[in-house]
Each structure stands twice: as C-alpha cells, then as structure tokens.
Amino acid sequence: MHAKPSAEGSLGSRPTSAREYGPVLSLLLVSPLVLLLVGGFLYPVGKLFWGSIFVPEASFANYARILQEPLFLLVLRRTFEIGFVVTALALLLGYPVALAMARVPGRAAILIAACVLIPLWTSVLVRSYAWIVLLQRNGVVNNALIETGLTDTPLRLLYTQGAVIAAMTQVLLPFMILPIYSVVRNIPDDLVRAARNLGAGSLLAFVRVTLPLSLPGVTAGVLITFILSLGFYITPALVGGPSTLMMSTLIGQQTTELLDWPFAGALAAILLLATLLLVIVFRRTLAFNKGFKLG
Amino acid sequence: MDGASVSVQGLGKRYGAVRAVKALGIEVRSGEFLSLLGPSGSGKTTLLMMIAGFEMPTEGAIRIGDRDVTYVAPNRRNIGMVFQRYALFPHMTVADNVAFPLRMRKVVKAEIARRVADALALVQLQDFGKRLPSELSGGQQQRVAVARALVFEPPVLLMDEPLGALDKKLREQMQIEIKRLQRRLGVTVIYVTHDQEEALTMSDRIAVMRNGSLEQIGSPIALYDNPATPFVADFVGKTNFLEAVCHSCNGTGLEFGLGQSGFIHLKECPPTLPSPPRPGDKIRLAVRPEQIRILRLGDSDRPPLNGVVEAIIFVGSFRTFLVRLAGGELVHVQAGTDHGMAYPQEGERVGLTIPSQAVQVFPDRRQ
Amino acid sequence: MANADLVLSERAVRGKGHIVNSAAAFLAALAIGLILFFLLLPTLIVIPMSIGTSPYIEFPPRGLTFKWYEAYFSDPDWMAATWFSVRIAVATTMSATVIGTLAAVALVRGRLPGKEFLQAFTLAPLIVPHIVIAVALYLVFAPLGLTGSFYGFVIAHSMLAVPYVVITVSAALQRFDQNLELAALNCGATRLQAFLHVVLPNIRPGVAAGAVFAFLASFDEATVAFFISGIEGKTITRKMFEDIDFNLTPVIAAVSTVLTLVSLVLMSSIEIARQRSGNGRLG
C-alpha cells in the first residue's frame, strides 16, 4: 500500500478533505484491478467479438447464419423457453419458502435458511452430478419407480429437457428465494396484523398487503434467475443431451468440437447482448451496486 | 503543558457553490476556553475540521502559536481532539487507545507506559486500562477520549460536541470535570456545541456562528446581557421579541409604541444602536423573560403594558407565565418560586413592567 | 424440517384457532417441507453415495466402506488435479483479496473520475455468462501457452473472484466509522499507519469474507476451468467433469463430498462470524 503520501499532499493534487483519498492515490489503488479486468476480461471478450465480425474478413455472415439456420434459431428459442420455465418454477417453489423463512419464528427460520444456503454454497458441478445419479437408467428415481410398481422398465430421464429443467431449477432456486426473502423480511409485521385487525382474512391480508409489498423482491429474483439461466453451462452440459442444446452448450460445442471461433464469438455476442440488455434495463431493480451504496 | 494561541484569518470553505464558512476571523488566546456556538449548518463543525486539518480551507490562514498550519497534514499538527462519539478504536484496549498517539510519535516503551498511566489517572480511569472501549459506559468512554487527546500534551484541544451523547446529569458532571482539567493543564480549548447552556457554563468566551459567519464573540455575560444581534439574543438564553415603533426620542428618553398592547419607556438611548431612532422608525425590542416583572392588577389600574395570563408553566426553581398582550403578542415572563407570594392565576389580567436597562433595541431588519 | 412444520402449524393455531386454518397451515408446511427436500436432496445425496460398497451408483447404499476415498487419495491423477486446484485457489485468494481490497478503498473513499463506471465494470465478471468468459479466455490463452498453466488460471480466477472481494470490503468500508480514521490521523498517524492500525483491523471481517468467497470462486469454478485446463494442468473440477462423462464411479461421489465439505465449512465459518459480529444477515 502506498497510501502514505496523500495526507502529506506530496502525491498529486492536494486533497481538499482527509475524508477522501486524492485522485492520484485512488487511481493507483484501483489500477491493479483495472489491469486485471482489462487483461483478463475485456481484452479476451473483445477479441472474441472482434473475431465474430472481422475474421476471416469483415462481415456479419456469422450473425446471419444464426438467423438463417433453423437449428440455431431453435437453440435460441429453446434457451429462452427453458429460461422462462425454470424461472416460473423457481418462483412457484421459491416464494412460499421465502415467505416461511421470513415469517416463521426463531429456530425454524434458521433451519429453512440452512436448507436454502447449503445448496447455494455447494459447487454447481457437484449438484449437477447428483442429478445424473438421481436420473440415470439405474438411478435413484428409476429404482424407486420400479420398486413402487409405477413402471416395469426404467424410464429415460437423463439427457431430456425435463432433466435440464429440474436440475436448473434446483440449482437456481436459492437465487430466487433470497431476494424475495430480504424484501418480505422488511415488511413490518404490524402491517399484516393491522390488515387482519381491519377484518381481512389471512388470505386477503396476504393478497392485499404482503404480496404487493413483496413484488420488488419477486422482480429481482425473477430477473436474476432468468439471467443466470440464459448463460448456464455446467448443468445443461452434464444433464442435457444433443436434444437439449442451449446457447451456452452450443457455444461450447462450436469451440471444442468444431473449432469455429468466429461463429462461437457471434453466439457469445448474442448471449451477452441479451444478458446486458436485461441488466441495463432493470439495473435499478437488480441493485448490483448494493455493496457500494448501503443504506 | 502550556496552551498556544490559535489564529484564524479570513478563513473560508466552499463546497461547490455552497460557502460553508465565510471569511472568518477569530483570535483564540493561549489557555483560553472558547466555544463555537451555533445551530447545525452554521459552519462551526467545518471550522473545527479545518483547524484539525481534516478539511482544507479554500481561502484564509490558520496559525497555531506562531506556526502557519493552514495546509499542514492533520497528523503533523499536534492538536488533540475529542470526537462527537469519541471515535475510540474499538479493537484496542483503553490503554492501547491512549498509547496510540505516543506510539505514532515513537516515544520509547517505558515512557509510554508511564504517560498512559498518568493520563488515565488524570481522568480517574487508572484501573480500566485493560478493558475494551465497548466495556465502558458512555461517560467513561468520553474520559478515555479526553485522555487520548491530552496524553501527548498538545497545546490545543479541539472538542466536537463531546457531551452530546450523554444524559443530562452526566453531561453536567462532565462539564465541570472538563473545565477543571482545562484550568489545571492550561491547554487552549476550542469547543463546538449547539447547546447554549453548555457554552455559557464552560467558556471563557463564546463565538456565536450563523450561516458560516461570526455573529458575535465575547464572554458569556457580555453575550447574554448585550447581544449584538437579535439572532444572538434569541440563541443565547431565552428572549421575548416585540415589534415596536418609535414614538418620541428626546431628553427625557425614548418611547416605543406596541400598537394596541401599550408602550415601553426607556430612560436613555441604548449604546448598541449606531444612531438614536427617529420618531416613526420601526424597531425590534428584545427582553429576557426573567427581567420582566409581573403585577396583579386592581380593576382601576391602567399600566402601560398589560395582558392576560394564558398559561403557567412550572419548572421547579421558577415558573413561566405566558402573557397575551392586548395587541396579540405572547410574552414569556419568568419568576422565581417564592412561596410567600400570591401568583396571578390563569385568565387573570396582569400588568408588566420592564426596567430600561433590560431592553435591547435592534433596528427592524427581517432576520 | 419436521421442526419447521410443527412451528408453522402451531403459529397458525395460535393465530385464529380455526381448524380450517390449522389444516391449511399443515398443508403449507408440508409443501414447504417438500420444496426444501427438493433443494437439499441433490446437494447431500453425494455423501451417502460416497460410502456405499457397490461399484455402481446406488442409493441407499447397502454396505459402508471408505474404499472410494482411498481410491481418490491414492490416485495420482486425482491428487495432481486436487493440488493444482488448491494451489490455484490459494494464489487466487491472495491476489484477489489484495487487488480487491485496494480497489474497494479507492472506489468507496477515493476521488476518482468515472467512479460509477468503474464500480459497474468491477461487477461485470459476475454478470457476464461464464461460458462467454471461458471461451474468450481459451481463445487468448491457447496461443500464449497459458492453457493448463498455473499463472493462466490465477489470472482467470482472480478476475472471476475479485468482484466478491470488492463487494464485501466495500460493504465493510461503508459500515466503518470514518471518524476512527480521522482520530488516528489526529493522533499523529500517517495515512498508511491509520490504514494499517485502525482501518484494516476494523474491516477485517469483510476482507476475510471476501477471501473465503474468492477461494471458493476459484476452487469450485468449473466452466472456465473446463476450457482453459490442459492435459497436464487440470483442476479438480475439470477432472470431475471428464470422469462424469466417461467413467462414472463412486470415486466422484467421494470427491464431491470433499468439495461440498470444504464449501460448507468455509461458508458456515463466515456466516457464523457474521452473525457474531452483530450484523447477522442470511444470504
């Protein structure tokens, strides 16, 4: 840390207040990060996109190809469809859990929180692997189905769209629950109680008070889940098959198997564009810079 | 240790278009206890921050003793400071907190131990050295902050509303303690407060600030008895303001009319006015509540100033009568509790008399 | 979970006392219990699987054995991948923590031109899909010989991990009472001394949390690792990925259990530290 000179005013322009670090010192402090992000992120991603247009020669042929070939359009559509379904399922399953986590007293809330946080903290790879174990031909689910007599022959569960959706929903569920929880928790209990005192039944109180007030959390959760689902790679790559190719797995395939870099770049650009568009349009809701602006 | 003088000359601080402090000049004598008194936003804290070196002025100069410190870094100013909520280092013990300034000055270990012990003894916390600040009461934390600020024997001690977080009783006790300490050590103290009572109790002189400028500087008595402006009259102690018109001004004194409420007669023109008022001039009068005498009236009495008692507020050692004058003004009158006296009742008509010397006269300019 | 059900229904009963209400509460509790089961099952199923005797994936396991762990710890390939991952994660933790902490100080406290833009830029690696970053890094690393290289991984993972450090340290700096730093300056400390003696000890929980996040962001990272690993330099996640595709044995369950335990121990330690430091917040 070369923090010392600022107070003495010998480095760069004199700070007008000891509460802040001068511009030169600040720039010095932030420069390793900028270097890392430019070299490790901006340059590679930029090069990938550059290649999608200018290699071998300047044209939008790669982008045109995505729009012309039915297979790629199908993948694009499937990516968004799976994203929608996963988000909807996560909302359906996540909302009650978030509500319970915020409203249930003491120990039980901690228990629910643990059930939500433990998966969040566990490697996505491990959880995707677990889904393979659950869903494969002689896996846990098939064994259970046969034992209970629901089916005679094992079902083909793995490498289907259903498997991808189930696994992704499980992996992304905490990202839906936590934003909703943090909003619901801050709805004063008094409001609900007041509504019930005024004669509203518990269902009406929920519809009129809790639900509308929790909407900011719902939008944040929906957006985060949807954005993450668009770019998800590990889970669809392991649990899905050729019939469940998504944008991310298609990009992977184009680079590792077909070595078609410019085309992979074009796919990546579209994926990134969709993500950034969502982030920029909804940046208020997402409050990504929460860490910088507390309170 | 001996106090140093602090001289602030033409000091200004601008935040963008906002001028927080405007061309301020104050001379603090060595060993003096000076309070900076003003409402929030008056610039008193900004001024203190500039003296401490935390904010750099946009114009002017600050001198401590004969050293120009205007642009000296805060760590090289050798000024002690007690912060609003003490700013004790929570991860260090009390002794480490007090030792910190000495460690930064590379004082040898044995010497540090001795001086920390002395400083803690000074604030009667000898046995608390090993505790963490969070294990102390508010008053004790406050004393640790004082010890830390004094341990390196600075010639000047700055205090930024140091008692604001304490309850009333403890605050009054600490006021006396700090004052005694300052007398004993001879250190120059610049003390920021918005509490006029605190300023009156502790200070040798008070600088009243308003909107970034110095409104008046003087001893507590001078400020109380001869406020230079209606703002000072209002901010230091309690005051009744009355809008009046000059009726006559001649050898027998001045007479001010209060419309339907009556009139006030002064024996001579007050020295604070630049020129004697002429008949017809609009004037603001300021009178302290305890200077007004209240009289119960017989049916036939027609005093120059009278009104009806609207409410009586009992405050222990005295009581305050709210008297509505005929013209509609509400006047606070304060009378000491005297059990032998028959006080007027609510709703009773009373007369008010005001001694000449108790009336402050200001030209009527909207303040 | 039974506990949760109980409290839920109890509460509803206390609320109004209607039978209808308590039945509804019971159903709600049951539903929530099932959802939590759905959340937890794929997370924890690897643990019993890793100690089952059958060479095929089997649940519930018939007999208990540690042979899959022995297989894992005695396999030079697995060990090489594990140590490669650990070395990368440790180096990433150090570099991301230092770089992120310095940057957070500047971003929170500095006078910087384009500060808002820099804050957004810092978070970019969190938002951009990792597959995009992975492919882009492969494209740049391959010609430089950085695939499968320790340094290539440290650069890539530091970039992915540094936002977590910036976020946690920024939050800690926002909570930090700035008057403490002014007090240190007033006591005669230089900026550097004030930072080392006063600021740093007080934001240490934030720095530590950032470091743990950084470690896990590297150690558990699979997408980028899949693309920039080499034949020689291969992380534990890449090795797992390969074995899942070609050679599905319970050794993977053992490895998964180890990964899970590392994550859970580290994350619960910062969660507990956070609860203890008084600003307990879940998630």
Go through the domains of chain A in sequence order and give each one's CATH number: 82-288 (1.10.3720.10)
Please report, for the domain that includes residue B284, its CATH number. 2.40.50.140
Confidence of residue C56 (pLDDT cuts 50, 70, 90): low
| B91 in a structural domain | yes
Query: Mind telling me how many Å the CA of C195 is from chain B's nearest CA?
Result: 12
Both B159 and B27 in one domain: the answer is: yes
A15 close to B (CB below 8 A): yes
- Cβ-Cβ pairs closer than 8 A, B with C, add up to 62
Q: C152: closest CA among C86, C93, C88?
A: C88
- Closest-CA residue of A relative to B56 is A16
**Other C-beta atoms lying within 10 Å of the C-beta of residue B138:** 16
The CATH number assigned to the domain holding C162 equals: 1.10.3720.10
Domain that holds residue C145: 75-248
Q: Say yes or no: C170 and C230 in one domain.
A: yes
pLDDT band, very low/low/confident/very high, at C141 (cuts 50, 70, 90): very high
Amino acid at C212: V
Over residues A112-122, the mean pLDDT reads: 91
Cβ <8 Å between A17 and B71: no
CA closest to A39 among chain C residues: C155
* Chains touching chain A, criterion 3+ CB pairs below 8 Å: B, C
Predicted confidence at residue C16, as pLDDT, reads 44
B78 interaction partners in chain C (CB closer than 8 Å): 188
Number of domains in chain B: 2
CB contact under 8 A, A9 and B54: no
In a domain, C271, yes or no: no
Interface contact flag, A7 B71, Cβ < 8 Å: no
Q: Which range of residues forms the domain containing residue B259?
A: 240-363
| Spatial distance between the Cα atoms of B214 and B294, rounded to a whole number of angstroms | 36
Q: Is residue C70 part of a domain?
A: no
Q: Specify the number of domains making up chain C.
A: 2
- Residue B160 in any domain: the answer is yes
In a domain, C51, yes or no: no
CA distance C35 to chain A (A): 6
Which residue among C185, C189, C202 sits closest to B91, beta carbon to beta carbon? C202
Q: Say what the ipTM of the complex is.
A: 0.86
Q: Choose one of B197, B229, B261: the last residue of a domain.
A: B229
Q: Of B198, B229, B260, which residue sits at a domain end? A: B229
CB C264 within 8 A of CB A118: yes
Do B211 and B300 belong to one domain? Answer: no
Which residues, in sequence order, are CB contacts of B175 under 8 Å at separation 6+?
B163, B198, B201, B202
- Find chain B residues with C-beta within 8 A of C277's C-beta: none
Summarised one tens digit per residue, pLDDT across range A171-202 is: 999 999 999 999 998 888 777 778 777 777 77
Asked if the Cβ–Cβ distance from C182 to B75 is below 8 Å, we say no
- Within an 8 Å CB–CB cutoff, is residue C209 touching chain A? no
Q: Do residues B156 and B216 both lie within one domain?
A: yes
In the three-class reduction of DSSP (H, G, I as helix; E, B as strand; rest coil), residue C229 is classed as: coil
B-contacting chains (≥3 CB pairs under 8 Å): A, C
Q: Is B101 on the interface with C (CB under 8 A)?
A: yes
**B142 and B30 both lie in a single domain:** yes
Q: Does C79 lie in the same domain as C11? A: no
pLDDT for C185-194, tens place per residue? Answer: 999 999 999 9
Q: What percent of chain C has pLDDT over 70?
A: 89
Residue of C nearest to B153 (CA): C187
Question: Tokens representing A51?
Answer: 């290649």
Could you tell me how many CB contacts below 8 A there are between chain A and chain B? 20
The answer to whether position B220 is within a domain reads yes
The pTM assigned to this predicted structure is 0.85
- Tell me what pLDDT residue C59 has: 64
The reply to whether residue A40 touches residue C137, judged by beta carbons under 8 angstroms, is: yes
Which residue type, as a one-letter code, is found at position B275?
A: S
Say if residue B224 is in the same domain as residue B294. no
Q: Does B81 touch chain C (CB under 8 A)?
A: yes
* pLDDT above 90 as % of chain A: 42
A4 pLDDT band (50/70/90 cuts)? very low
Torsion angles phi and psi, residue A149, rounded to 5: 75, 15
In chain C, which residues touch B (CB < 8 A)? Answer: 177, 179-180, 182-190, 193-194, 197-198, 201-202
CB contact at 8 A, C124 and A41: yes
Q: What is the pLDDT of residue B299?
A: 67
Q: Considering the domain boundaries, does residue B200 fall inside one?
A: yes
Task: Tell whether C206 and C90 lie within a shared domain.
Answer: yes
Residue B263 at interface with chain C, using a CB cutoff of 8 Å: no
User: Does B1 map to a domain?
Assistant: no
Same domain, B58 and B193: yes
Residues on chain C touching A181 (C-beta within 8 angstroms): 282-283
- Residue C256: inside a domain: no
Q: Are residues C22 and C140 in the same domain?
A: no
Q: How confident is the model at residue A285 (pLDDT cuts 50, 70, 90)?
A: low
Convert the pLDDT of each residue in B101-134 to its tens digit: 999 999 999 999 999 999 999 999 999 999 999 9
Token pair for residue A77? 């559509």
Q: Is C241 on the interface with A (CB under 8 A)?
A: yes
Q: Where residue B49 sits, what CATH number does that domain have? A: 3.40.50.300
Band of the pLDDT at C278, cuts 50, 70, 90?
low
Of B229, B253, B287, which closes a domain?
B229
Q: What is the pLDDT of residue B278?
A: 78
pLDDT at B145: 96
Interchain pair C1, A115: CB under 8 A? yes
Average pLDDT over residues A140-169: 88
Confidence band for A7, pLDDT divided at 50, 70 and 90: very low
Pick from C183, C194, C197: CB nearest B83: C183
Q: Is residue B344 part of a domain?
A: yes
Q: Are residues B82 and B214 in the same domain?
A: yes
Query: What is the average pLDDT score of chain B?
Result: 89
Distance from CA of B328 to the nearest CA of C (A): 49
CB proximity B154 to C under 8 Å:
no
CB contact (8 A) between residue B78 and residue C188: yes
Does the distance separating the beta carbons of A14 and B56 come in below 8 Å?
yes
The DSSP secondary-structure symbol of B12 reads E
Q: Are residues B221 and B280 in the same domain?
A: no
Please give the backbone phi and psi of residue B239, each rounded to the nearest 5 degrees, phi first.
-145, 145
On whether both B225 and B139 belong to a single domain, the answer is yes
In a domain, C187, yes or no: yes
- What tens digit of pLDDT does each residue of B21-41 get? 999 999 999 999 999 999 998
**Set of chain A residues whose Cβ sits within 8 Å of the Cβ of C81:** none
Question: Do residues C195 and C176 lie in contact, with contact meaning Cβ atoms separated by under 8 Å?
Answer: no
Looking at the structure, tell me whether residues B252 and B142 fall in a common domain: no
User: Is residue B235 domain-resident?
Assistant: no
Are B199 and B320 within one domain?
A: no
Q: What number of CA atoms fall less than 13 Å from residue B237's CA on the CB side?
A: 23
- Rounded Cα distance between B117 and B112, Å, is 8
- Taking residue B70's Cβ as centre, other Cβ atoms within 10 Å add up to 16
Among A16-20, A101-105, B63-67, C60-64, the range scoring the smallest mean pLDDT is C60-64
Give the residue with greater pLDDT, A260 vs C234.
C234
Residue B234 lies in a domain: no
Q: Is the CB of residue B62 less than 8 Å from the CB of residue B52?
A: no
Does residue C60 sit in helix, strand or coil? coil
- Give the DSSP letter string of A113-173: HHHHHHHHHS-HHHHHHHHHHHHSTTSHHHHHHHHTTS-SS----TTSHHHHHHHHHHHHH
Q: How far is C127 from chain B (nearest CA, A)?
A: 36
* B75 in reach of chain C (CB within 8 A): yes
Q: Is B249 helix (H, G, I), strand (E, B) or coil?
A: strand
Same domain flag for B16 and B49 = yes
Tell me the range of A101-105, B26-30, B251-255, C53-57 where mean pLDDT is highest.
Answer: B26-30
